[in-house]
Amino acid sequence: MQKLNVAVLFGGRSGEHEVSLLSAASIMRALDRERYNVIPVGITRHGAWIVGADPWSALQREELSGTEGAALFGDPTRPGLWRVVLEGDAARLELLQHVDVVFPVLHGTYGEDGTLQGLLELAAVPYVGCGVLASAVAMDKALFKDVCRAWHLPIIPYVLVTRARWQTEDEALLDSIEAQLPYPLFVKPVNLGSSVGISKCRTREELRRGLDEAARYDRRLLVEQAVPHAREIEVSVLGNGDAISASIAGEIIPGREFYDYAAKYLDEGENASKLLIPARLDAAQMEQVQMLAITAFRAVDGAGMGRVDFLMNGETGELFINEINTIPGFTAISMYPKLWEASGLSYPRLLDRLIELAFERHAETAALERIYRPERG
């Protein structure tokens, strides 16, 4: 059987650049080389696409010598990955490789938010994961809450703040937030993941600092009411359209007060966060969280993969949908693949299935009519 050319995209213009490198390294190691030709494509912090002997190491050491520029056109008549050859002030293009499918491993902005997916749709190339709409809606925490509310899904009370208003009406805005939500509060950038820019605030001064921190990363900021004695529950979903399945749920025991960036990626040893698989749920709770995960994924028209994160009130057992990650962490110890492994789907087979789903969704889209010629009577 002829091997498929799989372009794995990683890095990117995001606060989650380093996390992307970790996920991509794990995926590229696990892809079956008997079935796939793996084409590593790095994207720098400034958005430059690079190929070469080892673009992953080049991004990790932040030294691009030995790499070449690359481009993928949003033009289906010029398919494939192209090498950019610089010649003085000019450049020429050489076809580097035909690409059968793209596996984006770009967490956060300019990768998980629908922008890259739009390019891949224009290029008419199959790609792993959610499409433009689902990616954009799931990435925008405030818009995702609006969709959940329309589907009668449980969400945490929140206030949406714009950076422009925060910078011009700070005291009035603090008064407004305090009138609507009790402390403690969480402040988040609306469009970012991996807990980058998130703060827990117990006082007005901490809320002020939290809004300043979140405003470094986004122009829209989310202030959420804290869930009492919150338990972090996560479910992995897989599939397209009506054929979506949910893994067993897992639970995170943070090594810190809450599951921030350091607790996710930096802490080790006794201070490391713990993953409980399965989560400490009874049969009815497990069924409920799986049903809610599938419903939330369908609500945004999700495809391929997603990890749905919940917060559970530790006193009452009430569940709240927190967010969907459409390109979840993908290291061998990340929750998304570990939950599927515990549900009977190995890491390499999970990658195979995601690529199969990419082709299925692409074929469904390609079958649609794009030209309309009305009959003339």
Q: Cβ–Cβ contacts within 10 Å for residue 152, how many?
A: 8
Both tokens of 233, joined, read 């529950």
Please give the pLDDT value at position 210: 96
Q: Cβ–Cβ contacts within 10 Å for residue 144, how many?
A: 23
- Long-range CB contacts (< 8 A, 24+ apart) of 141-146? 141/188, 141/190, 141/191, 141/222, 141/323, 142/190, 142/220, 142/222, 144/300, 144/323, 144/324
Q: Is 133 inside any structural domain?
A: no
In DSSP notation, 226-261 reads PPTT-EEEEEEEEEETTEEEE---EEEE-SSSS--H
Quickly state the pLDDT bin for 294 (edges 50, 70, 90).
Answer: very high
Residue 256 has pLDDT above 80, yes or no: no
* CATH assignment of the domain containing 212: 3.30.1490.20
Minimal CA–CA distance to 186: which of 226, 141, 139, 156? Answer: 226
Segment 248-271 shows an average pLDDT of 66
- Pair (200, 313) in one structural domain: no
- Pair (209, 232) in one structural domain: no
State pLDDT tens for residues 114-167.
999 999 999 999 999 999 999 999 999 999 999 999 999 999 999 999 999 999
Quickly state the pLDDT bin for 85 (edges 50, 70, 90).
Answer: confident
- Pair (143, 191) in one structural domain: no
> The pTM is what?
0.90
Please give the pLDDT value at position 271: 64
Segment 248-253 shows an average pLDDT of 96
- Pair (282, 147) in one structural domain: yes
Residue 306 has pLDDT above 80, yes or no: yes
**CB of 10 closer than 8 Å to CB of 23:** yes
Please give the pLDDT value at position 267: 45
State pLDDT tens for residues 179-194.
999 999 999 999 876 4
- Pair (329, 202) in one structural domain: no
Number of C-alpha atoms within 13 angstroms, CB side, residue 251? 15
State pLDDT tens for residues 39-78.
999 999 999 999 988 999 999 999 998 899 999 999 999 9
Residue 264 has pLDDT above 60, yes or no: no
Give the structural domain span for 167.
158-225
* CATH assignment of the domain containing 14: 3.40.50.20
- Pair (83, 142) in one structural domain: no
User: Cα–Cα distance between 41 and 99 in angstroms, integer?
Assistant: 12
- Pair (258, 149) in one structural domain: yes
Residue 270 has pLDDT above 70, yes or no: no
Helix-, strand-, coil-residue percentages of the chain, each rounded to 5:
35, 25, 40
Minimal CA–CA distance to 21: which of 111, 102, 97? Answer: 111
What separation, in Å, do the N-terminal and C-terminal C-alpha atoms of the chain show?
Answer: 51
- Pair (177, 195) in one structural domain: yes
- Pair (150, 281) in one structural domain: yes
- Pair (47, 100) in one structural domain: yes
- Pair (109, 148) in one structural domain: no
Residue 18 has pLDDT above 60, yes or no: yes
Q: Show the DSSP H helices in the chain as ranges.
A: 17-30, 55-61, 115-123, 132-139, 141-150, 163-168, 170-180, 204-215, 261-265, 283-299, 335-342, 347-366
Last residue of a domain, one of 178, 197, 225: 225
CA diameter of the chain: 78
Residue 172 Cα distances to 50, 110, 163, 214, 253, angstroms:
47, 33, 14, 18, 37
Residue 1 has pLDDT above 90, yes or no: no
Last residue of a domain, one of 197, 225, 253: 225
Quickly state the pLDDT bin for 333 (edges 50, 70, 90).
Answer: confident
Please give the pLDDT value at position 260: 52
User: How many structural domains does the chain have?
Assistant: 3
Please give the pLDDT value at position 374: 85
Last residue of a domain, one of 225, 257, 274: 225
- Pair (146, 164) in one structural domain: no
Quickly state the pLDDT bin for 266 (edges 50, 70, 90).
Answer: low
